[in-house]
Chain A
Amino acid sequence: MDELLKIREEAIRRIKEASNLKDLNSVRVSYLGKKSPIQAAMKSMKTMKQEDRASFGKISNQVKQEIAKAIEEMKANLEEAEMNARLASERIDITLPSNVVPIGSLHPISVVKDELEELFLGMGYEVAEGPEVETDIFNFQYMNLPKGHPARDMQDTFYIDENTLMRTHTSPVQAHVMLEKEGKGPIKVICPGKVYRRDDDDATHSHQFAQCEGLVIDKNITMGDLKGTLEVFAKHMFGEKREIRLRPSYFPFTEPSVEVDISCMNCGGKGCNICKGTGWIEVLGAGMVNPHVLEMCGFDPEVYQGFAFGIGLERCAMLKYGMDNIRDFFNNDLRFLEQFSRKG
């Protein structure tokens, strides 16, 4: 009996001494295998008395189970230690640079255009397009700028021949849309696109730029609706705190016509160098569609009325992102483009 307890003690000690799974396994073989000292001790059972034999058998089983349990526990410990050692050896320098996965970017003009499209699509506007190589009739005459009109001087034009030109504004798309509708409203469209002026390129001028026209025509559209719509635009594009201000102006295709200022996003209206101290920044032109334009484009001005506006996309982007050179848009320097890979 003492012998069994001694064996158990020795086994537990050897289990604890095992420093790896291999050693542990040999401990298991020597104590639980066929040649184990327990097995040998069991042989002496034959010579025991009946009542001693029973208790001896019970204890020897107990010893075996205890040893087996100790081995299992030790095995789990050793396995965990080995795994930890492996993990430790697999350590990498997490500060080394990442694989260079390319991140693309939309051009900022597309970003602004997408923002406008999303806003206006949500308000039920469609997006219309028109040709960039346009006729004099659509670009000027349907826009109430007959030949010889002094306001034609406001837009120096690239002519291709006497009747064809590079469109100077997106307004002719209004005429295309109206004529397609054959005098039946309502119309609710925006028309983004490229336009061209015979201007030398410098920091603030570009012979090519992008506009987004807006046109809403129905029976009861008012100038108040124009004001409200532009307020939504200003807040969406430049922030909730923006306010707008309408100033009378002149465009041949609208009457009344207004220039629209927004409160300066830089100083909030107090006056700074960006708004030239006025607190306001001019962002777009707008007005109520001139009855002559409605009529020429097949709409009865006694029945229908509406508003139109024209937004300069480069100007929007420059104000929004604090840019001061329009040429940056067309140079497409990657160091410029990469900045627009972020969203929002």
Chain B
Amino acid sequence: MLASLKLLNNYVKVDDQDAAELAEKITRVGLEVEDLKELAYATQLVVGYVEECVEHPDSDHLHVCQVRIGDDEVQQVVCGAPNVAAGQKVMVALPGCELRGGKITKSKIRGVESNGMICSVAELGIDQRLLRPEDKDGIAVLPADAPIGADALDVLGLRDYILDISLTPNRSDCMAIQSLAYEVGAVLGRKVTLPEVKKYDELPSDLTVDVETPLCPFFGIKLVKGVVTKESPEWLRNYLMASGVKPINNVVDISNFVMIETGQPIHMYDYDKMKKKGFVIKTGFDVTTTLLDGIEYQILPTDLIVSTDDGIGCVAGVMGGNDTKIDENSVNICIEAATFDAPTLRATARRMNDLTDASQHFIKGAVDTASSLRVLDRCADLLVQLADAKEVYETVSTPLDIPEKVVEVSVERVNGLLGTSLDAAAISEVFDALAFTYKIDDDVFKVTVPTYRNDITMAADLIEEVARVYGYDNLPSTLPFMEATHGVLTEKQFKEKVIRDTLVDLGLHEVLTYTLTSEDCVNDFNLFHPFDHTVKMMSPLSEERSVVRKSLIPSLLQTIKYNQDHANKDVCIFEISNSYSDNELSLLAIAGTGAYKSVPWIGHREMVDFYLMKGFVEVLAKKFNIEPNRYTLERVEKDNKDFHPGKSAYIIINGKKMGVIGQLHPLKAKKYGVKNTYVAELNLTDLLTVRTKKLTFAPIPQYPSVSRDLALVVDADVPARDIERVISRASKSLVKAMTIFDVYEGEHIEKGKKSVAISLQFQDLKRTLDDKTINDVTERILDELDKQLHATLRS
């Protein structure tokens, strides 16, 4: 909201304050001043008298003026305005004067010396939308009695500061400058005075009010007759402009001004346009109607309507009807001040795309219903003063029955919550500053909450008042004094941290990508969630971010693509994130492409491949003590469309799919615009809850180990893992480790066969092995390999 300091000064004295300092003080009590600016900006702008005005010898529109700006000083000024004439009092910007548009200097205009500029109102930096056409079309002609040489902004009443305040939703009451005045009063320790409202001899009114819905807690209407519509006085126009409202005419301006002052939106009806002199507030209309902006709107039965002549007199709090609207010829006017249900208004205003200033006041709760009758009187008073209203009629309204709100808070409670040691006197000071009335009974404050402070309903609210006025800077700074608690990560949190640290140590980069993805991608690589259950946004910002992802792989592929497009060719990344369908799963995805390690100057590049991905996964398994015999790799389906069917595998633990490792299917690689990319994805929710053995120390072997190498020939499709398994079982646990060090197919090997060279390490924990034992075990291993896999020793 915009608040004029000059207007504010009518309620609490601020004209002796430095505007910037005041703004800072207001901010520190919770009303954040986002911007402080001057209504009009000009230095050294003075009143001048045009003594002579002749046409420029070398121009068809410029004038050369002799302008008196002091008893002994006349300056020559060239002016292009069409309305400049001798005998006028004008605003002159002298050389050195700063305007929003720049600094004025002495110059020659088409050969004629010009020592300044005669200004229009539009050149003073006022928001252009608020100005009248005459302010923009020509120079401002000042009143004839304006003293020559005086400050022109003062003469025009435009010397004012505007505070742009960002109000928190609980303090919408401060949309009313009166309410803001109480805050400023508390800050400065000054008294607030509200304007006196003159009471007139009121005539009995023939208007009727009939509220047929609980959505209108109060409705008041006041008839004023004999209004003359004309331009508002300068001071009123200036207050409106400083508040960001465009002046229209005195009647409209008064209704806007009263809202600025009190927070109560005012609507006016032309009394003479109403056939029946009654107002019915109800819902249930289902019609189309033209409102005062001349546009046709659909009215729904849920909309709250002020009905006149059985039609739409006003869409309550949002916009008036066309039939009863006031215009410059209106003479007899009904003034409405009411309270309407905010959610109902919000729905209507949103639908009609019309969040006007007035509807915002209702919706945000700026209205102080208790003051409604006074507001109507204030409005009538101003219409008498400024619009020549002749007759003021009695207000007709529903009963105004606002119970007094008393909230209690004890001194002990204040100190207990804030950590302070204030006494009752210190707390009283705060409540006094805020102009609250209260009683103290045994160190308990019983505060009668002012009706405009609808945010205060409980003790904590009063404590906040104490805290913010007393000042947060004055609070002590302590640490909680309480029962000791132990801060440890949960097992899941700890393990996720281990995964992140491990993968980073392996040289991968952790990434952070968006949870929301497109429907087109949501089931790609989806391994763990049901395909037909997708979490969809009701109103997404874009298709690209419309559903919650079920796999992290698409995001990682997009990240790889982004990097490759930005000249980062070798990319190894991972992410841990939640995914959602009908359940929540924590996933880990790894993706890589290009070189993992390299020695550039000898041309060595270790490329990302299946076995590297497998290595990453195995390191993690090892970290969590999931032994290799606990999991198996199972080749993906032949017709899998996400992964390369020959180079991809599921990770199976306890018969359950826990993850996948593999190369992208070429169709998916094409879709995501990447090449030679390998990925892995693990379901951490399940994987991290796999039961594993506790770490217990195993003694270091005392006896030496013996190595034997075997070169086997087997069918080409026998998996290496099967060979290892047979050896392991046949070795009666004497083979402590084995390493496949060569796999070969081709020349010297029968077609359809492959040679596998494997190194076995024999060891007995209890004694030194002799040759005979090793030979016997080797024999048995070869027997079993022959029997189970038709493997033979390579000759």
Contacts and interface: CB of A to CB of B under 8 A. Distances in A.
B562 A102 contact: no
Contacts of A107: 509-512
A150 B365 contact: yes
A330 B477 contact: no
Nearest to A248: B30
Interface stretch (B238-246, B568-576, B664-672, B694-702): B568-576
Contact of B489 (A105, A121, A123): A121
A114 B363 CA distance: 42
A127 B490 contact: yes
B563 A333 contact: yes
Interface stretch (B250-258, B371-379, B460-468, B764-772): B460-468
B385 interface: no
Contact of A104 (B464, B503, B598): B503
Contacts of B509: 104-105, 107, 332, 334, 337-338
Contacts of B686: none
Contacts of B458: 255, 291
Contact of B480 (A100, A126, A216, A332): A216
Interface residues of B, number: 93
B476 A246 contact: no
A329 B599 CA distance: 30
A256 B168 contact: no
A245 interface: yes
Nearest to A200: B541
A140 to B, nearest CB: 14
Interface stretch (A6-14, A51-59, A81-89, A223-231): A223-231
A238 interface: no
Contact of B516 (A100, A208, A335): A208
B584 A100 contact: no
B504 A105 contact: yes
Contacts of A216: 480, 482
Interface in A200-226: 200, 207-208, 216, 218, 220-225
A258 B464 CA distance: 10
Contacts of A291: 458-460
Interface in A118-172: 120-127, 129, 131-133, 148, 150-151, 153-154, 158-161, 166
Contacts of A258: 472
A247 interface: yes
B578 A132 contact: yes
Interface in A75-125: 96-97, 99-107, 109-110, 114, 117, 120-125
Contacts of A298: none
Given A158-B537, A256-B468, A332-B563, A223 B418 contact: yes
Contact of A248 (B342, B468, B513): B468
B102 interface: no
A186 interface: yes
B194 interface: no
Contact of B28 (A102, A151, A225, A247): A247
B98 interface: no
B515 A245 contact: no
A132 B548 CA distance: 10
A228 B479 contact: yes
Interface residues of A, number: 82
B39 to A, nearest CB: 22
Contacts of A151: 169-170
A333 B568 contact: yes
Interface in B237-277: none
B473 interface: yes
B559 interface: yes
Contacts of B485: 124-126, 186, 188
B538 A250 contact: no
Given A96-B601, A104-B507, A334-B568, A246 B472 contact: yes
A305 interface: yes
B508 interface: yes
A26 interface: no
Contact of A208 (B28, B364, B515): B515
A31 interface: no
B540 interface: yes
A246 B458 CA distance: 22
Given A223-B418, A224-B475, A160 B538 contact: yes
Interface in A225-249: 225, 227-229, 231-232, 245-249
Given A101-B507, A102-B596, A221-B482, A245 B472 contact: yes
B484 A124 contact: yes
Contacts of A126: 485, 487-488, 490
Most chain B CB within 10 A, of A228, A255, A305, is at: A255
A257 interface: yes
A114 B494 CA distance: 11
B505 interface: yes
Contacts of A255: 458, 460-461, 463-464
A123 B487 contact: yes
A194 interface: yes
B506 interface: yes
B505 A104 contact: yes
Given A224-B478, A249-B168, A131 B584 contact: yes
Contacts of A132: 515, 578, 580, 584
Contacts of A124: 484-487
Interface string B185-228: 00000000000000000000000000000000000000000000
Given A104-B508, A329-B512, A334-B563, A97 B600 contact: yes
A27 interface: no
Contacts of A247: 27-28, 30, 32, 472
B573 A121 contact: no
B467 A248 contact: yes
Nearest to B574: A104
Contact of A224 (B342, B460, B477): B477
A125 B487 contact: yes
A263 interface: no
B597 A161 contact: no
Nearest to B418: A223
A123 B485 CA distance: 8
A310 to B, nearest CB: 15
A263 B184 CA distance: 26
A176 interface: no
Given A132-B580, A288-B417, A225 B479 contact: yes
Interface string B555-568: 00001001100101
A10 B378 CA distance: 135
Given A224-B477, A332-B562, A207 B545 contact: yes
A290 interface: yes
A273 interface: no
Interface string B674-716: 0000000000000000000000000000000000000000000
B535 A333 contact: no
A309 interface: no
Given A102-B507, A228-B479, A333-B562, A208 B514 contact: yes
Contacts of B487: 120-126, 188
B26 to A, nearest CB: 11
B481 interface: yes
A299 interface: no
A227 B504 contact: no
A133 B548 contact: yes
Nearest to B461: A255
A176 to B, nearest CB: 13
Contacts of B481: 220, 225
A64 interface: no
List the 10 closest pairs (A to B, CB-CB), nearest first: A102-B507, A224-B419, A248-B30, A222-B419, A250-B168, A256-B464, A246-B472, A104-B504, A121-B487, A248-B468
8 contacts: A124-B484, A126-B488, A133-B548, A194-B578, A198-B539, A224-B476, A247-B28, A334-B563
Given A153-B169, A218-B480, A255-B464, 5 more contacts: A104-B503, A159-B539, A218-B482, A247-B32, A337-B509
